[in-house]
Structure 1
Amino acid sequence: MKKRTNKLIRSLSEIFEGEPWYGQSVMRKLENVPHKIGYKTCIPESHTVAEIVGHLIAWKTFAIEKLESNEVYDIDIDSERDWPKVEVNSAEEWEALKAKLVAAQSSIYELLNEQTDDSYLDEKVKGKDYDFEYLIRGIIQHDIYHIGQIGLIESQLKRKELDSGVFKA
């Protein structure tokens, strides 16, 4: 029986491409962000939307590696692997980056669907002090956190770019 796994998959899906109670999912939010602001920041020290997407991909990749029992794969906070350099200079690059995000999410679904029961959820993640259920819930929470950041960047840039035509009225 995979009741817990199926519930986690539903939550992952709702937050990533569904209709969460609080507003837009990750992909709905990203659909509203024009590629022309994907590389812009509100203040020089902040991350761009494209960098946040790269960061989301990094942590989904971490989850994939751990679900595949890779004990040595890790991400150091604030490292290049945690926040990879990502530049978006065209609509094609923006679409390719979003496609990479979708592919990472799809890999997580596939790995969770391959499980025959929920027992793995209580197993420790190799090389970590937490179990797989905690890891998957963390991916959900991480997506929600960064949806907020993307929304904030989008709203601030929308005000700045109002007359530029980047955002359609």
Structure 2
Amino acid sequence: MTTSQKLATELENVLSGNPWYGPSVYSIVESISFEAAYEKPVGSVHNIAAIILHMTGWTEEVMDRMNGMDAQLPVRGDWPEPGLPEEQKWKWIVEDLKLVNVNLAGFIQNFPEERWSEPVAGKSGADETGETYEYQVAGLIQHHIYHSAQIALLNRMING
């Protein structure tokens, strides 16, 4: 199995499959009402909508890096403000997450196999720290898992 195949399969499984650890990202996100998405339980730093915007931004940033752009914070910002609660806006936030991950899957499938082990542009010391393209995409998949667990916990806090 090539690196591209391995990463694409792992991404698909985490997003919409049956990952070993529990519910997929999309099954968690699709269970969130727009009211819950904007509620911030006492003690939480971000609401669910902000977490999903954060996930979307970092997915776009990893694709920019795969396109040869220097590593930086996401264009949207690290933690974009979701604004006031609106049901249509919530639907767009979820659709954006899905669309950007469809695009990422395409990037992964078409990424040249010989480039996976190259250091990411703009990451000083990437050769020494292992910040290769493969490392970045694997890290993003882990990032999706981490934040989907946060979303599930926040939803449980909100809805009991």
Letter in 2 for 1:148: A
CA deviation map 1:102-136 (0-9, x unaligned): 111111111122224x2111011101111001001
Pairing partner for 2:97 from 101, 118, 127: 101
Rounded to whole Å, the distance in 2 between the matches of 1:147 and 1:39 is: 15
Confirm or deny: 8 A CA contact 1:38 1:88 kept in the other structure: no
| Ranges in structure 2 where 5+ consecutive residues have no aligned partner | none
Rounded to whole Å, the distance in 1 between the matches of 2:116 and 2:84 is: 37
- Larger Rg: 1 or 2? 1
Confirm or deny: 8 A CA contact 1:50 1:88 kept in the other structure: no
1:92 alignment partner in structure 2: 88
The percent identity for this pair of structures is 25
* 2:119 maps to 1:124: yes
In the alignment of these two chains, the number of paired residues is 154
Rounded to whole Å, the distance in 2 between the matches of 1:53 and 1:17 is: 16
2:39 alignment partner in structure 1: 40
Q: TM-score, normalization: structure 2?
A: 0.89
Runs of 4+ in 1 over 4 A off after TM superposition: none
Rounded to whole Å, the distance in 2 between the matches of 1:88 and 1:9 is: 35
Letter in 2 for 1:75: L
Confirm or deny: 8 A CA contact 1:50 1:87 kept in the other structure: no
CA deviation map 1:72-108 (0-9, x unaligned): x5118xxx71001113523221111111111111111
Structure 1 residue 58 displacement after superposition = 1.0
| Ranges in structure 1 where 5+ consecutive residues have no aligned partner | 160-169
* 2:91 maps to 1:74: no
